[in-house]
Structure 1
C-alpha cells in the first residue's frame, strides 16, 4: 500500500472509534450523571494524551524551551478559538447554552487532529509503530465521541446537525495525518515537536476550561474523580501495552 494511503487508512481507526461512541450517545438515553462521568473519563484520557504522549515527545527537542513556550502558546490558541466561536455564534444569533458543547466539539477535534499528526509522523518512521499508535487510540476515542454527541444532544442541537458534526470528526484526524506525513516529515525536528506541544497546550485548556466545567453544570456524581483518573489510567495502559 502507498505510504500516504496507509496513513489515511490508519487514521480512520480512531475516527471510527469516535464515531461509534457518538452513535451510542444517539441510541441510548443519557442521564446528566452519566454524561458528567463520560466527560470526566474523556478529560482523563485527553490529559493522558498530553502528559504521556505529546509532551514527553516534545521535550526530546535539543532546545526544550521552544516546545515549552509552544505549550503556553496552545493556551493562547485556545483563547483564539473561543473568541472565534463567540463571534460566529453572535453572527448566527445562537444561544449562549450552545457555547460549551461547541467548545467541547472543538476540543475533540483538536484531540483527533493531534492523533492524526502522531499517526502520520509515526508511520513515516515505522509503519508498525503507526499501526500500534492508531489502534491504541481507538478505546480512548470511544468515550470522547460519546461525551461530545451526548453534550450536543443535551444542548438541544438538532439530530441531523449532531450526526453531521459526528461525521465531521473524521476531517481533523485525516487533516492531521496528512500534515504529519507531508509537511512535518520534511520540517526541522524542533518545528514538529513544537506543533505537538502547541496542540498539547490547547487540549489542556479545553479540558480544564470546557470539559470539566460542562460536566459540573448538571447533576454530578461522587465517582467523577474515579472516572477522571480512570480515563488517564486507561490511556496509560493502552500506551504501555499496545502503543509501545
Structure 2
C-alpha cells in the first residue's frame, strides 16, 4: 500500500510540472525565441531519460532483438497515434487545432505515466529518477502548450481547465502499468521500458524539435539549451541515485545492526 501511494505521488509530478509551465506562460510574455529554447531544453531532457535511465536497464536485462523490436514498437505506436490525431483533427471544424494540441499532450503525459508505472514495477528508485526527469521536461512543454493556446485565442478559463486536467492522464496510466507489471516476469518489465524509450525518442525528435523549429529558426542558444537539458537530467539522475543509494545503505546498516543486537542479547 505504501508503494501505491508513492506511485500516485510520483505520477502526479509530471502533470504538475506541465501545469507550472502553463502558469508561467500565463504570467510571462511569450516570444518565438523563448519557445524555441524551452522546447530544445525539454528535448534534451527526454533524450537524457532514454540514454541514461531507460536503455541501460534494457541493455543489461534483454537480448538485442527484444530491445530492437520493443523500441521499434514504441516508435511505431507514437507515429500511429500522431496520424490518428491528424485524421481526427482534419475531420473536425472550428476547434480542430485545440483538439489536436489537447490530445497530443494528453498522450504524451500518458506516456510519462506508463514510464513511471513501468519503472516502479522494476524498482521504486528508478521510478523516482524517471519522475524527476519527466517533471523537468514537462515544465517547458506545459509552457509551450499554453503559449500556443494563447496565440490561437483560446479563452483563459479553458486554457486553465486544460492544464489542470493533464495530471489525470499521467496518474491513470501509471496505475494501470503498475498493476499490470508489478507481478509480471522481469523480461516483460524491461520490454515495456524499451517500448517507452522508443515512444519518447520519437516524441522528442519528431514532435518537440519540430515544434521548436516552427516557432523560430535554431540558433546557438537552441543548441546550448538542448545540451543543457541533457546535462541537467544527468546531474539530477546522478544526484538522486547517490541519495537513494545512501538511504538504502543506511537502511541496510540499521537492519544489520538490529540483527547483531538480537544475536548479542540471545547469547
**Conserved in 2, the CA contact under 8 Å of 1:113 and 1:175?**
yes
Q: Deviations over 1:155-186 (max 9, x none)?
A: 44443333233223212321232134211111
Distance, in Å, in 1 between the alignment partners of 2:153 and 2:207 is 18
Deviations 1:96-154, CA, capped at 9 Å, x for gaps: 866984575256425522443255325xx44x665565456543432232233223333
Counterpart in the other structure of 1:73: 73
Offset at 1:63? 2.1
1:89 Cα offset (Å): 0.8
Q: Distance in 1 between matches of 2:39 and 2:57?
A: 26
Report SS of the residue matched to 2:158: helix
Give the structure 2 partner of residue 175 of structure 1: 172
Q: Secondary structure at the match of 1:60?
A: helix
The 5 A counterparts of 1:84-163 are 84-93=84-93, 101=101, 105-106=105-106, 108-118=108-118, 120-121=120-121, 125-126=123-124, 130-131=127-128, 134-135=131-132, 137-163=134-160
Moved more, 21-30 or 160-169: 160-169
Q: Please give the per-residue CA displacement for 1:77-96, whole angstroms capped at 9, x wherever unaligned.
A: 12211121022212322578
Work out the CA distance in 1 between the residues paired with 2:126 and 2:71: 25
State the TM-score, normalized to the length of structure 1: 0.84
Structure 1: gaps of 5 or more residues = none
Task: Report what 1:38 is aligned to.
Answer: 38
Which residue of structure 2 lines up, in the alignment, with residue 237 of structure 1? 235
The change in CA–CA distance for 1:5 and 1:105 in structure 2 (over 3 A counts) is same
Q: Is the 8 A contact 1:42 1:147 kept in 2?
A: no
- Which protein is bigger by CA-based radius of gyration? 2
TM-score by length of 2: 0.78
Deviation track 1:18-39 (CA, whole Å, cap 9, x = no partner) reads 2111111112111111011111
Between the aligned partners of 1:71 and 1:165, the Cα distance in structure 2 is: 30
The count of corresponding residues between Structure 1 and Structure 2 is 241
The equivalent residue for 2:50 is: 50
**Runs of 4+ in structure 1 over 4 Å off:** 94-104, 128-133
Structure 1 pair 136–224 and aligned structure 2 pair: CA distance change class (3 A): closer
Does 2:19 match 1:22?
no
Equivalent of residue 213 in structure 1, options 210, 215, 226: 210
Aligned partners of 2:161, 2:137: CA distance in 1, in Å? 21
Which runs of 5 or more residues in structure 2 are unaligned? Answer: 243-267
